[in-house]
Structure 1
Amino acid sequence: MIVAFLNQKGGVGKTTLALHLAGQWAITGKRVLLIDADPQGSALDWAQERASQGLPRLFSVVGLARDTLHHEAPELARSVDHVVIDGPPRVAGLLRSALLAADLVLLPVQPSPLDGWASAEMLTLLDQARIFKPAIAARFILNRYPARTLIGRATADNLADHDPPLLPAHVGQRVIFADALRTGRLASEMDSGSIAAREISELAQQVESLLP
């Protein structure tokens, strides 16, 4: 199945979440392919850093930052259990192609009004994509979530009855994620008992439960 992390706003943590979801599934024995559809190529950089350090490859990462993604991704999905797409910010043709490729769209948002406005634009694109592919499922996911702050709780409350729904799993603002991204590792490899590792494990289980 194909899961795409998409949001028109950059900096919401799409790459971190995509890499960690792919890694968590790989650790549990799934065959996973990550498609880096962001022209910046951050996921490819992560994979190259990992290889340069001699770390084992958990899953394959390929770059497909082009608007034929919706044709190519289903073909690639035939040879694996899951495909994870790290989507682009504000590249209209490529973003639409990633939407049409996906079985499930995950919309990362941070506790910020600016993220809410960008998500509104993203939902319009999602509605347009459903004209051609009605079965696309979607969920919001709160990332870098400061649970004890007013804005964090307000964002969660505002999305609680939203369509698409909010995933119950929240991912917090944790330094270990930045360190993992920089060093070609996963949070669970750096500290398997960390809160971050538990959050990603819960996220992976909830996402898989949504897949057909």
Structure 2
Amino acid sequence: MAKIVAIANQKGGVGKTTTATNLACQLYSEGDSVLLVDLDPQGSATDWSSEQTKEDTFPVVQMGKNLVRDLPKVARGYDWVIIDGAPQVADLAAAAVKAADVVLIPSTPSPYDIWACADLVDIIKVRQEVTDGRPKAAFLVTMSIKNTRLSHEVKDALAAYELPLFRSGTTRSVVYAETAKDGSSVVDLDKDHPAAFEMRQIAKELREFING
């Protein structure tokens, strides 16, 4: 049965699609079968996939408000389903939460982004109350700047939501945008590249989190 991971945050600009596409690429590179679901009406993940030139890749499908009903039909046979959630649309956020085994909430080290997580956290906690704690949920710090005070303070601010925070995360780097424009990912970079290392660590921690 597929493990379903929703990358969700109702605020835009937090690296949601970047996380979803790169994480899907990382899991696929490790030999797992992957389906990427584009739940964003803007279709950013779909646009990204249209730029791909590699034949050996995974499918990307667009879905909408009937996600919970339709996903089981298309997810059968995959190891992972990664959902690129929709910003601002509450109904689609709720659908992603309902369908997921794990919700990863990307947030930059910005107080505005942290405050914007409140509504999504409420949706998750209401769902957890009626499903014995499912889905699991955790924060993922994205686009941080190393050795800055703000990057350290964000961890304390997110702790107020009483959800775990991944040890791993992403740092601000142009390579995420540069690889995306060609329909590729940081996974295609040299394995010693810092961004490639970041994605390996996120995938490793996700595996531990979903099985823990």
For the aligned pair, the TM-score class normalised by the smaller chain equals over 0.9
Instruction: Give 1:152 deviation, angstroms.
Output: 1.0
Once the two structures are TM-superposed, the CA of residue 131 in structure 1 deviates from its matched residue by 4.1
2:127 to 120, 126, 129: 129
| Structure 2 unaligned blocks of 5 or more | none
Deviation at 1:160, TM superposition (A): 5.1
Report the Cα distance in structure 2 between the residues aligned to 1:57 and 1:11, rounded to whole angstroms: 29
Percent identity between the aligned chains?
37
Whether the 8 Å contact between 2:21 and 2:45 is mirrored in structure 1 is yes
Matched residue SS, 1:3: strand
Counterpart check, 1:109 vs 2:107: yes
Contact 1:100 1:133 in 2 (8 A): no
1:31-79 residue CA offsets vs partner (Å, 9 max, x unmatched): 00000000010111111011xxx32342110000x21111222333321
State the match for 2:173 in structure 1: 174
Q: How many residues align?
A: 208
| CA distance in structure 2 between the aligned counterparts of 1:75 and 1:181, rounded to whole angstroms | 29
Show structure 1 runs of 4+ deviating over 6 A: none
Aligned to 1:89: 87
Task: Give 3-state SS (helix, strand or coil) of 2:202's partner.
Answer: helix
Task: Decide whether the 8 Å contact of 1:31 with 1:80 is kept in 2.
Answer: yes
What is the aligned partner in structure 1 of residue 154 from structure 2?
A: 155
Greater mean deviation of Cα atoms: 26-35 or 191-200: 191-200
Given the alignment, which residue of 29, 32, 40 partners 1:30? 32
Matched, 1:100 2:105: no
Partners of 1:87 and 1:95 within 8 A in 2: yes
CA deviation vs aligned residue, 1:136-177 (integer Å, no higher than 9, x gap): 100000000112111111112333575211001021111100
TM-score w.r.t. the length of structure 2 is: 0.93
Stretches of structure 1 that go unaligned for 5 or more consecutive residues are none
1:75 maps onto 2:58 in alignment: no
* Whole-angstrom distance in 1 between the partners of 2:130 and 2:98: 8
Amino acid at match of 2:167: P
Give yes or no for contact 1:188–1:194 (8 Å, CA) kept in 2. Answer: no
Amino acid in the other structure paired with 1:149: T
Residue 195 of structure 2 aligns with which residue?
Answer: 196
